[in-house]
Amino acid sequence: MGDTTWFLVHEVRNSDLISQVFSHSLNVIYCLAFGLLALFVCWWMVRSSLNGLYISIANSIRNGAIELKAAEEMLYEEIHNTTVQQEMIKNEALTDGLTELKNRRAFDNDIEFLQQTNDLCIAMIDIDNFKTINDTYGHAVGDMVLRTVADIGLRLRGMDNITLHRYGGEEIVALFHGMTQHDALAFLERWRETCEQRHFRETNLRVTFSGGIATKDDMRVEEALVLADKRLYEAKRNGKNRIIDGAEAYA
């Protein structure tokens, strides 16, 4: 039995397949379009800034108001400041404004790099009963809950080999680089328990999340993400507030 190879075949309707391909293609097109726009804005800012500086320095040298060495120092400082501004714009474009996590665009940009490694665990988490929280307490409280869950995750992370992305809505993707699934589960469990034990001013507000985790191994990132997502919804069906890794549930 140990050498037996198993194949699982699942029939998908042609219309569903076309819909999925179209949806993913649109996401890629949107990301590429935004990336090109961001690059154009950065190029335009650098070009405008440096052109203005070149003209100013040239006029100052021509009029004797500035020495060549001072002009070189000014030019170096301006290039440095422009580089810093570019990096800030890039970081803002790849960061979710509400939670300060990396955003979906950053995740999509990282996929090609992530394809090159098998030493990766992927987890998908989803805040339980989030629609009910919004309907009961209002969207401002819903935003606060999202920020709180994200803040706890960032605080507990404490290492560079865990990255957290707001994937969409109340869903967060966690990437564990060079970590075993056991260690990744331990982190998720600490995160889940800390959120569950958090007290809020709002009466009867209790925040939990469910999650699913998968190891990439020889799969593509997209396949591992789909598997983690399936396990997430298995956790939802089994009562929520738990993590499922395919072997057992942690709750």
Which residues are identified as catalytic? 170
C-alpha span between 109 and 205 (Å, rounded) = 36
C-alpha span between 31 and 52 (Å, rounded) = 32
Angle at 27 between CA 132 and CA 243, to 5 degrees: 45
Angle at 227 between CA 223 and CA 231, to 5 degrees: 170
Distances (CA, A) of 237 to 66, 170, 186, 227: 73, 17, 22, 15
Tokens (6 digits) for 247 = 């072997």
Parallel/antiparallel/unpaired status of strands 171-177 and 120-127: antiparallel
C-alpha span between 34 and 180 (Å, rounded) = 35
Beta bridge partners of 164: 174
Phi/psi zone of residue 86: left (φ > 0), alpha (ψ -120 to 50 degrees), beta? alpha
